[in-house]
Amino acid sequence: MGAIYIGISGWRYAPWRGVFYPPGLAQARELDYASRFLPTIEINGSFYALQRPASYAAWHDATPRGFVFAVKGNRFLTHMLKLRGIETPLANVLASGVFALRDKLGPILWQLPPQLRFDAGKVEHFLGLLPHDTGRALDIARGHDDKVAARALLEIDAVRPLRHAVEVRHESFRDPAFIALLRKYGVAVVVADTAGKWPDFDEVTADFVYVRLHGEHELYASGYDDASLARWAARIRAWAKKGDVYCYFDNDIKVRAPFDAKRLMEMVGVDWKPAT
């Protein structure tokens, strides 16, 4: 039976203050609070800009033992370069401080833009570059350029497995060749609920499953009722029979995500009791 991690995409949202977060809670304590409510969180800031080792180290220290972070890969590789010429930018991502998460480093999520069509050669080149343990990731990180030279973190505390998941948003990826490539390289296709806006997949392409729930009826906003959550709970339990499952709620606009995540945890039977 695999482990099941259910959580949220990001934790810094002003509308959550006074609703999910208690009134008066200092913003600096929000991660600590969220991490005692849920066992995993996606780091979203890494998608928009390279973070710093000190930030990753602080996030590690602010969360309890057993907590897991997923890290969203930087959009410079996916949205600007569109997977071309990404060797050095990938090194920069890996050198930017992710190793400071240590034992709390979970999967890296690579989200492709809606305009990017499936190109088998380009996708295979990208997948072939992704490191599957922190030792190989460190080797790649040493190829960073001056963008992170003054703050690169080029040491690891241990060699650990490193997982990757890819979320696609163009219909051309509904191609058996794409699924075959993911299986060849052991990368998970993201199972995404996007209110029907983008492709959905249910194939298992790696030794784990990665789920993102963006909203059943309204993207990033609508919540999930018990009937919907029960359906997801059944799928998660089935996937967990063969491997780990990571599930993140991204329906954050109307303060749905943390409460939907907690309810799904109850349905699946995930009992998160962090160490004090």
Q: Where are the domains of the chain?
A: 4-268
Q: What is the pTM for the complete model shown? A: 0.96
Closest CA to 223 of 233, 214, 234: 214
Rounded Cα gap, residues 145 and 275, in angstroms: 39
Structure token pair of residue 276? 């004090």
Average pLDDT on 114-123 reads 98
Q: Over the chain, what is the mean pLDDT? A: 96
pLDDT at 83: 98
**CATH (residue range 4-268):** 3.20.20.410
| pLDDT at residue 153 in the model | 98
Q: What is the pLDDT of residues 131-142, one digit of tens each?
A: 999 999 999 999
Q: Which residues sit opposite 105 in a β-bridge?
A: 69
pLDDT in tens, 85-118: 999 999 999 999 999 999 999 999 999 999 999 9
pLDDT at res. 252: 76
Query: In degrees to the nearest 10, what's the CA dihedral of 270, 57, 89, 204?
Result: -10
**Nearest Cα to 163, choosing from 1, 17, 2, 30?**
2
pLDDT at 39 (0 to 100): 98
pLDDT digits (tens, 9 = 90+) for 59-79: 999 999 999 999 999 999 999
Angle between helix 226-240 and helix 257-268 axes, rounded to 10 deg: 60
Q: What is the pLDDT of residues 192-247, one digit of tens each?
A: 999 888 889 999 999 999 999 998 878 877 889 999 999 999 999 999 999 999 99
pLDDT number for residue 84: 98
Q: What is the pLDDT of residues 168-189, one digit of tens each?
A: 999 999 999 999 999 999 999 9
**For position 276, what pLDDT does the model report?**
64
Alpha carbon 122 to its chain centroid, in Å, reads 22
* pLDDT for the residue 65: 97
Q: Do strands 188-193 and 164-167 pair parallel, antiparallel, or not at all (unpaired)?
A: parallel
User: pLDDT > 70: what percent of the chain?
Assistant: 100
